[in-house]
């Protein structure tokens, strides 16, 4: 039977519970255990699919088409275990299911309440599909004391009682702030946070204490005494120079050892951390630099492009170079003046990422044109590919080329996709339908043209599987016009109807993809598109 690790946070938000969960899972995995991580989000949205990236960062998409929290990206990147629909649940989804059951009469006239109905649903989610696992890590979103997280806290309290102390461990992430005026660290916030958690019936077994300065042994003992944990189980978590050095740092502080000890496991295999030593060696000892300009809409919040940021870093790891990312606001390139050239000329490569809406679209198209005309390596992702196709159509003489996403147009090079084939059969959507969960989501195959550039990038593969999240699609009726302009359709859906990849054979490196390759990239297994893109940027850096 799987053992459960419940991860909570206190004092303040943004302490890095997701990164901590991913790192701990990676350390357990390095010892030979099978792991899976799940995220409980207390907000009332059914999923983050309709939330602005400025509100919640990027939406991470799984193979089975779930729109999930960005922490699931950390989980996948650190463990290599593909996330799925059952690994992320929100209060909204829990209540949606309960209300649907109540309306059907499934509760046989009973009064529907938070306890037991909501807490039972949360427990069922935590326990599902865990038979073949050694450890399930459950991260509870938010901060202890939040009203919205109380049902989740109650559910894990009940699970600890039901499964027993040999099957559950509680890890609490807190903050030990440094007060500059006093010149010392303060343990009181951690004490109060643990007291708040204990008041909910949950006694933590391990404390992970975030701090900007080393925590003296005396402070660790003080925290242990006041918080009723062993001194060795008070784990310092200082700021790290890279997220990829966090597993090694936490292991050095004894996090995985103390968690296993809390389970009564004293004979665990020694961890094989060679992959993490290799990743950190490549990260901290680069042999060159590449500067990539990312021309986007949400550049004010880097979490909006979290997976993209990490995938570019992975491309650097594959080539053993440092990747300098320059986040460029697409709207700047829509104004008069030489802003475009001034910003893009120093770039060794240009990337236009996914996004929604018309704002900044002309700046993205202008960036595509700059990359095409100046021979700068280019990668367009989702909307970025669509902008590349519009730019090509305009170059071919279709001056009014645009997307119906931006309004009515005489030249709909990009239009809404109303039906497509999936494993479940024909999927159909209406233009005025709901926004949430209605896009083309999850893993779909693409058939690559033989001898194409992308076929070589993918190691000669004829068919690939990548994750999608889009509502608009390039209009295949414009294929001939675009190919006359030099933009080749080198990847199509298996039925030959939906363009998946475009490229320019006469360009040093120019690729647009309808899917999101960044979602499948990992530090120890960089995605081939990003490895190739950064390699092209490295060649470009030697020319300028």
Check residue 428 and give its pLDDT. 57
Tell me what the mean pLDDT of segment 49-54 comes to.
Answer: 77
Dist. CA 380–CA 363, nearest whole Å: 13
Query: In this structure, are 255 and 325 located in the same domain?
Result: no
In a domain, 215, yes or no: no
Query: In this structure, are 255 and 383 located in the same domain?
Result: no
Check residue 165 and give its pLDDT. 85
Last residue of a domain, one of 254, 278, 302: 278
Percent of all residues in the chain with a pLDDT value above 70, rounded to a whole number: 95
Last residue of a domain, one of 232, 254, 278: 278
More confident residue, 395 or 182: 395
Least confident of 14-23, 49-58, 104-113, 146-155: 49-58
Q: Contact, 375 vs 531, CB < 8 A? A: no
End-to-end Cα separation, the chain, in angstroms: 59
Report pTM.
Answer: 0.92
Query: In this structure, are 363 and 388 located in the same domain?
Result: yes
Query: In this structure, are 311 and 247 located in the same domain?
Result: no
Run of H or E residues at 481: helix 479-484
What residues contact 86, with CB distance under 8 A and at least 6 apart?
38, 125, 128, 129
Number of domains in the chain: 2
Check pLDDT > 70 for residue 473: yes
Check residue 417 and give its pLDDT. 77
Dist. CA 406–CA 411, nearest whole Å: 12
Check residue 123 and give its pLDDT. 96
Tell me what the mean pLDDT of segment 205-228 comes to.
Answer: 95
Check residue 524 and give its pLDDT. 96
Query: In this structure, are 257 and 404 located in the same domain?
Result: no
Confidence of residue 186 (pLDDT cuts 50, 70, 90): very high
Six-digit token pair at 203?
């006694």
Tell me what the mean pLDDT of segment 468-478 comes to.
Answer: 91
In a domain, 261, yes or no: yes
Which residues, listed in sequence order, are joined to residue 464 by a DSSP beta bridge? 446
In a domain, 183, yes or no: no
CATH number where 339 lies = 3.40.50.880
Nearest to 362 by CA among 336, 386, 330: 330
Query: In this structure, are 247 and 325 located in the same domain?
Result: no
Maximum separation of any 2 CA atoms in the chain, in Å: 75
- Which residue is listed with tokens 């995220």? 39
In a domain, 365, yes or no: yes
Check residue 509 and give its pLDDT. 97
Least confident of 366-375, 401-410, 423-432, 471-480: 423-432
Nearest to 339 by CA among 276, 394, 384, 295: 295
Average pLDDT, the chain: 92
Query: In this structure, are 52 and 160 located in the same domain?
Result: yes
Query: In this structure, are 383 and 501 located in the same domain?
Result: yes
* Residue 380 buriedness (CB in 10 A; 0-12 / 13-18 / 19+): buried
Tell me what the mean pLDDT of segment 341-362 comes to.
Answer: 90
Cβ-defined contacts of 157-163 (< 8 Å, 24+): 157/200, 157/201, 157/202, 158/119, 158/123, 159/4, 159/6, 159/123, 159/126, 159/127, 160/6, 160/202, 162/123, 163/4
More confident residue, 339 or 396: 396
- Please give the positions annotated as active site: 382, 516, 518
CA distances from 225 to 187, 216, 269, 437 (A): 11, 14, 30, 48
Check residue 424 and give its pLDDT. 60
Query: In this structure, are 384 and 486 located in the same domain?
Result: yes
Which residues, listed in sequence order, are joined to residue 4 by a DSSP beta bridge? 136, 168
Dist. CA 205–CA 199, nearest whole Å: 15
Check residue 433 and give its pLDDT. 56
Query: In this structure, are 338 and 487 located in the same domain?
Result: yes
Run of H or E residues at 40: strand 35-41
In a domain, 468, yes or no: no
Query: In this structure, are 255 and 358 located in the same domain?
Result: no
Domain that holds residue 311: 286-415+474-541
Dist. CA 529–CA 519, nearest whole Å: 12
In a domain, 88, yes or no: yes
Confidence of residue 336 (pLDDT cuts 50, 70, 90): low
pLDDT tens-digit map of 404-442: 888 888 888 998 876 545 566 655 556 655 555 578 899
Query: In this structure, are 266 and 387 located in the same domain?
Result: no
pLDDT tens-digit map of 7-37: 999 988 889 999 999 999 999 999 999 999 9
In a domain, 231, yes or no: no
In a domain, 230, yes or no: no
Last residue of a domain, one of 230, 262, 278: 278
Check pLDDT > 80 for residue 300: no
Check residue 94 and give its pLDDT. 95
CATH number where 26 lies = 3.40.50.300
SS3 290: strand
């Amino acid at each position: 039977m799987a053992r459960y690790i419940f991860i909570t946070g206190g004092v303040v938000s943004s302490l890095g519970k997701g990164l901590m969960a991913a790192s701990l899972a990676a350390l357990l995995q390095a010892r030979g255990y099978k792991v899976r991580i799940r995220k409980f989000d207390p907000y009332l949205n059914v999923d983050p699919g309709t939330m602005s990236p400025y509100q919640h960062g990027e939406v991470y998409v799984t193979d089975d088409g779930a729109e999930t929290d960005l922490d699931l990206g950390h989980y996948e990147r650190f463990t290599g275990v593909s996330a799925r629909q059952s690994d992320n649940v929100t209060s909204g989804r829990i209540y949606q299911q309960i209300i649907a059951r109540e309306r059907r009469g499934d509760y046989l006239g009973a009064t529907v309440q938070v306890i037991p109905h909501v807490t039972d649903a949360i427990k069922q989610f935590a326990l599902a599909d865990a038979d073949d696992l050694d450890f399930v890590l459950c991260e509870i979103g938010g901060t202890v004391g939040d009203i919205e997280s109380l049902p989740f806290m109650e559910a894990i309290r009940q699970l600890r009682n039901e499964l027993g102390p040999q099957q559950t461990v509680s890890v609490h992430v807190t903050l030990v702030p440094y007060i500059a005026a006093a010149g010392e660290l303060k343990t009181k916030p951690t004490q109060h946070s643990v007291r708040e958690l204990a008041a909910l019936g949950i006694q933590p077994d391990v404390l992970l204490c975030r701090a900007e300065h080393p925590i003296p042994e005396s402070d660790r003992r003080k925290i242990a005494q006041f918080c009723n944990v062993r001194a060795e189980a008070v784990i310092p978590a200082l700021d790290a120079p890279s997220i990829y050095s966090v597993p090694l740092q936490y292991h050095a502080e004894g996090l995985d050892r103390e968690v296993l000890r809390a389970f009564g496991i004293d004979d665990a295999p020694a961890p094989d951390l060679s992959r993490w030593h290799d990743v950190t060696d490549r990260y901290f000892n680069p042999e060159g630099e590449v500067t990539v300009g990312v021309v986007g809409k949400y550049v004010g919040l880097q979490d909006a492009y979290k997976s993209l940021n990490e995938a570019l870093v992975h491309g650097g790891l594959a080539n053993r170079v440092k990747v300098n990312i320059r986040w460029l606001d697409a709207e700047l390139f829509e104004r008069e003046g030489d802003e475009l050239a001034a910003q893009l000329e120093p770039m060794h490569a240009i990337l236009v990422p996914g996004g929604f809406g018309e704002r900044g679209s002309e700046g993205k198209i202008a960036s595509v044109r700059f990359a095409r005309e100046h021979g700068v390596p280019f990668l367009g992702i989702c909307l970025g590919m669509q902008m590349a196709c519009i730019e090509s159509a305009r170059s071919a003489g279709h001056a009014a080329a645009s997307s119906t996403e931006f309004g009515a147009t005489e030249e709909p090079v990009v239009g809404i996709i109303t039906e497509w084939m999936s494993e479940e059969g024909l999927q159909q959507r209406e233009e005025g339908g709901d926004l949430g969960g209605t896009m083309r989501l999850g893993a779909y195959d693409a058939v690559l043209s033989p001898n194409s550039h992308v076929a070589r990038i993918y190691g000669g593969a004829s068919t690939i599987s990548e994750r999608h999240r889009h509502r608009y699609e390039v209009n295949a009726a414009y294929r001939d016009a675009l190919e006359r302009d030099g933009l080749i359709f080198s990847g199509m859906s298996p039925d030959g109807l939906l363009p998946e990849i475009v490229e320019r054979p006469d360009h040093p490196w120019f690729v647009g993809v309808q899917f999101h390759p960044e979602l499948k990239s990992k530090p120890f297994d960089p995605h081939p598109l990003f490895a190739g893109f950064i390699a092209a940027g490295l060649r470009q850096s030697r020319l300028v």
